Structures are given as C-alpha cells and as structure tokens.
C-alpha cells in the first residue's frame, strides 16, 4: 500500500464513522481485469450505493477497506463458511443492512495484485448469484409494485426464473434492442407451476416503462448500451438499477 494510505483513509473514517472507506487502486499486472478496475476506480459517489447489486461485488473492494473497530464489531463478524464463501460480499451486505455508508478516497493508495491462484476464483458464480438475487429482492424490489427486466436474453431470463413467485408477478415486461426477440413478442416461463404459464411481453427499450432492473453488462458494447440508457433521462437508484 502507498505510504499515505492509512493517514488519508483514517481522515475519511473520522468524518464518516459508520462507513466503509475504500480507495482507488492500480493493478499488477497493469492490464489485468481492466473493466473491473475502471469500475472500482470511476464510480461516482452516489453509485457506491446504487451499484451494490452488480456481479462486480462490493463497490469498494475488500483489500482497500478501512473502518473503525467499533463499526466492524457492530456489523461483524465475517462469515466463517470456509473456502467458497464470499465473506466480503456477505459482510458488505450486512454493513448496508445496518445503515452503513460507502466512501472512496479518490487516490490510488493500493497496488492490487492479480494472480490466477487467488482464492476468489474458487467461489462458485452460482453461489454469488443466489446471494445477489436475494439481496435485490430484500433491498430494492419491495419498493416497486412493477418493473421491467432490461435484457430478454439469457441473463434477463435467468433473473426472472430466480425470483420468488411474488416478484415474478411484478415483472411487467422484458425489454431489449434485439429485433428477433422483440418480434417474438413474449417470454413463456415453461417451468412455472402456474396455469396458464406466465407469458411476459418483450418490448423495445423505448416502449418499456421504468423502473428497470438492468441485466446488460457495462462497458462491453462500445458505449452503445450506455448511450441508449442515457437517452431515456432516468435517475439511477430510482428509475433503474444495474444487476449484471
């Protein structure tokens, strides 16, 4: 870590005693996890709370965490499930449940090394997915009587199938830009126990109604998706949330 890390993060923690304080990082090797590194370094302050549902995990990464012992003891302890348990994600969720904030010192204070033998690679994506869906259902979906899933493809349908029956009934539509999916007109949930089986409309994104749960990965379409989203003039956290 950089020589000024403790001083700068301690100063921020003194001002935000119930927050996890993170910082910007640089990677070693420099070109490893480029999208992820951009994400953790460039999130706006309000996005540190609105983007907590994404597959990237905590919006300030655990190697950068700094908080008071008092706050850690109030939130903790870490889950001790052993290898395969995303203990940082679970602690972060519990921190948010207890009303904690998230703050990032906007200086690169940590050299974050990447290597393929890191324990993080042993955590099953399916395990993290289950925790993420439950947290979305706990924290966000109770505030919405209906919502649209942005992505009628694999990830959007997977989210729909993973929801409780009550939250599936809140899904007013899927939306997409793929004309083939839109022409099909609907998604039929064949494995549903309900009769008749649910048929959820598939709309062009401009014809769909917010709020949206967005299952499109960021920073992968050359800016096309991000421009489509900006064109709707929506407010993140109120009108949409990123889930992918």
Q: Which of 239, 154, 147, 152 is nearest to 202 (CA)?
A: 152
Distance CA(206)–CA(142), nearest Å, equals 25
If residue 183 lies in a helix (H) or strand (E), which one and from where to where?
A: helix 179-184
In this prediction, residue 117 carries a pLDDT of 64
Q: Extract the residue ranges of the chain whose pLDDT is less than 70.
A: 82-83, 117-122
Classify residue 123 by burial, with Cβ atoms within 10 Å: 0-12, 13-18, 19+.
Answer: middle
Q: In angstroms, how far is CA 209 from the centroid of its own chain?
A: 21
Q: What pLDDT shows up at residue 112?
A: 93
Query: How far is it, in rounded angstroms, from Cα 95 to Cα 18?
Result: 9
Coil/strand/helix, residue 67: coil
pLDDT at residue 79, rounded to an integer: 83
Distances from the Cα of 143 to the Cαs of 136, 138, 239, in angstroms?
11, 10, 11
Predicted model pTM: 0.94
Per-residue pLDDT, 123: 77
In the chain, what are the domains? 5-123 (no CATH), 140-242 (3.40.50)
Spacing of C-alpha 128 from chain mean position: 11
Output the pLDDT for position 121: 57
């Amino acid at each position: 870590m950089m020589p000024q890390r403790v001083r700068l993060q301690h100063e921020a923690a003194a001002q935000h005693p119930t927050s996890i304080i993170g910082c910007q990082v640089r990677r070693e090797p420099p070109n490893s996890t480029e999208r992820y590194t951009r994400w953790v370094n460039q999130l706006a302050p309000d996005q540190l709370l609105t983007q907590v549902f994404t597959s990237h995990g905590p919006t300030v990464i655990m190697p950068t965490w700094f908080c008071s012992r008092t706050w850690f003891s109030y939130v903790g302890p870490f889950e001790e499930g052993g290898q395969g348990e995303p203990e940082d994600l679970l602690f972060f969720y519990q921190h948010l449940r207890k009303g904690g904030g998230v703050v990032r010192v906007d200086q690169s204070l940590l050299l974050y090394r990447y290597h393929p033998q890191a324990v993080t690679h042993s955590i099953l994506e399916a395990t993290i997915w289950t925790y993420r869906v439950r947290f979305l259902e706990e924290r966000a979906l109770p505030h919405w009587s209906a919502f649209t899933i942005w992505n009628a493809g694999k990830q959007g349908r997977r989210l729909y199938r993973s929801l409780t029956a009550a939250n599936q009934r809140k899904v007013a539509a899927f939306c997409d830009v793929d004309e083939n999916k839109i022409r099909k007109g609907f998604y039929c949930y064949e494995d549903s126990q309900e009769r008749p089986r649910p048929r959820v409309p598939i709309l062009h994104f401009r014809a769909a109604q917010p709020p949206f749960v967005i299952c499109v990965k960021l920073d992968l379409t050359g800016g096309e998706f991000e421009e489509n989203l900006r064109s709707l003039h929506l407010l993140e956290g109120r009108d949409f949330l990123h889930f992918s």
